[in-house]
Structure 1
């Protein structure tokens, strides 16, 4: 989304539910009654991108196999565009074969020169975090992993990521790629900030929600019924039926390397409320990183989100904001046009409170003239700005920068006035100005 500067018009004031005394600077949040044992963490509303909790979320850290969310995004994008089909096949390269035979890495063994469907490889990557299968997908899309890495970094910029570095398609350390790394040094590894990981996950499930259909599969057999059959158990042990089963868990991606530690991006839904949480380099209570630690810390954040927050609609779709119902129009048959919200605006609010909130309209300054007017003709449905919500301390409710905002649009058409109407307005304005000048002079005589 293109960023535009704007000016703000104060609009409606709302009552919201919030724990008394638990507002923190920088946005509307309930004070978390826990500490996440991880180098970084973040919790967001999956519907709006609203940030509910964060710790060191802007620090760039290793992400390991959470990198595969970008590979998933690019594959699903290519499928949607018709460039690739899940029924397409891939013939195993020497590089992919070599990596696939390393069972110390997460892999399904692939035969040299054998062909596999993109669907098989996608499931192996998404369920089992299979690294060679991931490289195979990269080669299928871009011809080589090096070219695919270029696409990853380009897409990161488009998606609004800010603190990122992709050097391979998998998230492995380059030294594990059997001398085949073509981007970065041998010890380089993919890196992102917690906010960037959350942003990538947010865009992935928003743009391609079908990814959760595969990411939520707890167990599946790769090439069932063949000599290559191998049982794949999802590394997300919080899925139903697995050891850390969590009610409502739907995905999304784990990641582990010596450099990145134990990482996890989790998605969950309960009673229509959807959350995304990220933990990076999770630690147990004794300070050691473990597989279990990332699930324990994930549970803390998801419980917090589900237990402490509820959704509140701030403005219905098609509603006008008080104090900002219209905008002036230059050279139009009408001198103003009504504006309204394009969609409903809702946020998650902490329960049981009496705090008040206000919403402000931020207008797109590039659409206005120097007098802050729209210029006719104006078409119904033109987006003229967006809504920002603030607490009673004038702090904005925090959202991911890449999250879509509730847009404000024009409610009707305004045609351009003809020359006669414009001339008469100019004449009328001149007469009025002249009369005001005379009145001021006469008043000054007495």
Structure 2
């Protein structure tokens, strides 16, 4: 294996601030992630791939299932759904949990139930919607898990529609961020509900628990969560100057700590983290690979896909790009053949590998040339 370092000119242009001892965001959360909403690039992760108890943050998946049913026409905003005794007893006023205060054996419009879930975090509203779509809450939870996996949220495992503690109810911080991105991008006509500050139902006014709303400029969603098992968590999103970030954290020890962390992390997400576009698909890299038995001794390389790196601004100085391949390459080589990797590394950043392809074809030497090359190869060992 021959490894060649190539510090690309574009990268050198990104270096402007001296490296400090702390090269990434520091948090007391047990799990956290920052996502660039436009690209889906993970800018920061602390145990971000580890499945965790999400509490009410998993209600985003319940909402997505409802929005997809509305889009498919199997449900309408004006449909009135029955409030079962299970929904009332498990998630209503009798439960002592977050509730929309639905009355047992009453009926509620889907539009009101959506607001009840999003704004009031109503467990009763979640169960009413789950029973309408799945027959039972348990069946609906299985539907949630299956749909999450179809969407690539592979860490997800749902046991209920509410986020009520259960050892089988888990999802990672990064997958929660990706779920938020799906809600924002695929259902913009409903996204405004996440920013609504209050909702009154049955004569009872309740307020959105999201600590970013009305406090952090540009914040417009999404969902808080809290149980004894999970601690206090948040999925938040904000947009400034055309850039949107999604933050997720969990495991804070109080409501006040969550509010403080929400502002601090969102400020860092928008001010301290950037997505650096190092190469576009098809760009050449500053290295030619050696070729054995070819009619030329080297071949140009290009990247097969866009190469990006989401980094804290203090980590830019130590960003490196390395060309790696088993060399020399053996002719014949066809243009477009994958012949190596481009490795991007930086402090507090999971190294990424991108395919490198031959930028041109290289024919095999003729018989005499191959014999000569073989002799040279043997003499050199």
* Closer, same or farther: CA 398–406 of 1 in aligned 2, 3 Å: closer
In 1, distance between residues paired with 2:342 and 2:128?
44
Aligned mates of 1:163, 1:397 — CA distance in 2: 19
1:201 — aligned with what? 180
RMSD in angstroms over aligned alpha carbons?
Answer: 4.6
Mapped partners of 2:369, 2:167: distance in 1? 76
Of 85-94 and 257-266, deviating more is: 85-94
Structure 2 partner of 1:82: 73
Distance in 1, matches of 2:346 and 2:83, equals 60
Change (3 A) 1:22 1:188: same
Answering whether residue 207 of structure 2 is matched by residue 233 of structure 1, we say: yes
C-alpha deviation, 1:124, in angstroms? 0.9
Contact 2:177 2:248 in 1 (8 A): yes
SS at structure 1 position matched to 2:75: coil
- How far residue 170 of structure 1 moved from its aligned partner, in angstroms, is 0.3
- For normalisation by structure 2, the TM-score amounts to 0.74
3-state SS of paired residue (1:301): helix
Mapped partners of 1:84, 1:324: distance in 2: 57
- Over 3 Å counting, the alpha-carbon distance change for 1:151 and 1:321 in structure 2 is farther
TM-aligned CA distance change 1:439 to 1:42, over 3 Å: closer
1:62-101 pair list within 5 angstroms: 62-98=53-89, 99-101=91-93
Q: 1:436 to 1:274 in 2, by over 3 A?
A: closer
Residue in 2 aligned with 1:215? 194
- Structure 2 counterpart of 1:44, from 25, 32, 35: 35
Which string of whole-angstrom CA distances, capped at 9 and with x for unpartnered residues, describes residues 354-412 of structure 1?
A: 455438799xxxxxxx977589xxxxxxxx99x9761378x96668xxxxx99999xxx
Rounded Cα–Cα distance in structure 2 between residues aligned with 1:71 and 1:207 = 15
- Cα distance in 2 between the residues matched to 1:54 and 1:360: 26
Partner of 1:294: 258
Shift of residue 118 of structure 1?
A: 1.5
Verify the 8 A CA contact 2:278 2:309 in the aligned structure 1: yes
Question: Residues 124-151 of structure 1: CA distance to partner in whole angstroms, max 9, x if unpaired?
Answer: 1011111111111112222221111111
Question: Tell me, what secondary structure is at the counterpart of 1:102?
Answer: helix
Post-superposition offset of 1:155: 2.4
User: Are 2:344 and 1:390 equivalent residues in the alignment?
Assistant: yes
Q: TM-score, normalised by structure 1?
A: 0.64
1:31 aligns with 2:24: yes
Q: Which has the higher contact order (CA 8 A, sep 6+)?
A: 1
What SS does the corresponding residue of 2:101 show, helix, strand or coil?
coil
Q: Judge conservation of contact 1:90–1:116 (CA < 8 Å) in 2.
A: yes
Structure 1 residues 435 and 300, CA, compared in 2 at 3 Å: closer, same or farther?
A: closer
Structure 1 unmatched runs, 5+? 1-7, 25-29, 174-186, 223-227, 284-289, 326-337, 363-369, 376-383, 400-404, 410-427, 442-446
State the distance in 2 between where 1:282 and 1:389 align.
Answer: 35
Is 1:271 the counterpart of 2:241 in the alignment? yes
Report the secondary structure of 1:390's partner residue.
Answer: strand
Q: Which runs of 5+ in 2 are unaligned?
A: 289-300, 326-330, 358-362, 376-381
Provide the secondary structure at the position in 2 that maps to 1:191.
coil
Q: Are 1:124 and 2:116 an aligned pair?
A: yes
Question: What's the offset of the Cα at 1:280?
Answer: 1.2
Q: Deviations over 1:177-228 (max 9, x none)?
A: xxxxxxxxxx646233333333333443344344531111112323xxxxx2
Matches of 1:398 and 1:87 in 2, distance apart? 50
Partner Cα distance (2:346, 2:233) in 1: 36
Q: What's 1:328 paired with?
A: none
Work out the CA distance in 1 between the residues paired with 2:49 and 2:98.
Answer: 29
